[in-house]
Amino acid sequence: MVALNGEEDYRERHLSQDNAFCSGRMWVNPNAQQRQLYDLPSLPGEPVSLTVGYRTLLAAAASPALLHFTFTQLCQAATAVMDYLTLCESYAVWLLDEVPPLATVGPATQQRFINVIDVLYEKQIRLLLVTRCDLETLVEGVELEDIQRTRSRLQQLPRAV
């Protein structure tokens, strides 16, 4: 990998309306009023069961318009790339909620998060990401090599004000 330290970020040059992943958004610690303003669902009490292959995953909510997971449900559970690929066939918009600084979770959980972002990016799934911290803090302290690619991809998401 070659670092380009120029002033222009060439990744942004090719962003368009056709790029579903980049049409998503990232929120940092939205309060209840901001969640309502941006039409972000609150976390319901009872999770929804989704059958993916021979496995059952728990999600915060699932409708034809939106698949909503918390970070714990998706990345701290025993999930795999094949699960994400299968879910991409049915859901074009994903909301990943309550994402903590990745340094606070183990390497296996970090890798699952990286894998989720890779799959959503490659499959051009619109991502709505709600984090507990800014992007730099999110990836700080993660020693997995793929984290810089993930950071770059997440940097393409517009930030909600």
pLDDT score recorded for residue 7: 55
Q: Which residue has the higher pLDDT, 14 or 80?
A: 80
Closest to 129 measured CA to CA, from 105, 146, 150: 150
Q: Which two tokens stand for residue 109?
A: 């959980």
DSSP conformation letters of 26-74:
EEES--HHHHHHTTPPPPPSSPEEEEETTEEEEESEEETTEEEEEHHHH
Does residue 6 lie in a domain region?
no
Does residue 161 lie in a domain region?
no
pLDDT, tens only, 111-155: 999 999 999 999 999 999 999 999 999 999 999 999 999 999 999
The Cα–Cα gap between 17 and 99 comes to 26
Full domain range(s) for residue 75: 18-155
Question: Number of folded domains in the chain?
Answer: 1
Does residue 112 lie in a domain region?
yes
The Cα–Cα gap between 96 and 72 comes to 10
The Cα–Cα gap between 130 and 133 comes to 9
Which band of pLDDT confidence, cut at 50, 70 and 90, is reported for residue 18? Answer: low
Does residue 1 lie in a domain region?
no
Does residue 139 lie in a domain region?
yes
Crossing angle, helix 81-88 and helix 107-122, to 10 degrees? 30
Determine the average pLDDT of the residues in 82-103.
97
**Which of helix, strand or coil describes residue 150?**
helix
Does residue 4 lie in a domain region?
no
Does residue 3 lie in a domain region?
no
pLDDT score recorded for residue 43: 76
Q: Which two tokens stand for residue 153?
A: 């991809």
**Residue 2 predicted with pLDDT over 70:** no
What CATH number is attached to the domain comprising 48? 3.40.50
Helix (H) or strand (E) holding 24: none
pLDDT, tens only, 36-79: 999 998 876 789 999 999 999 999 999 999 999 999 999 999 99
CB 124 within 8 A of CB 19: yes
Does residue 12 lie in a domain region?
no
pLDDT score recorded for residue 70: 97
- Where does residue 134 rank: exposed (0-12), middle (13-18), buried (19+ CB within 10 A)? middle
pLDDT score recorded for residue 156: 95
**Residue 15 predicted with pLDDT over 60:** no
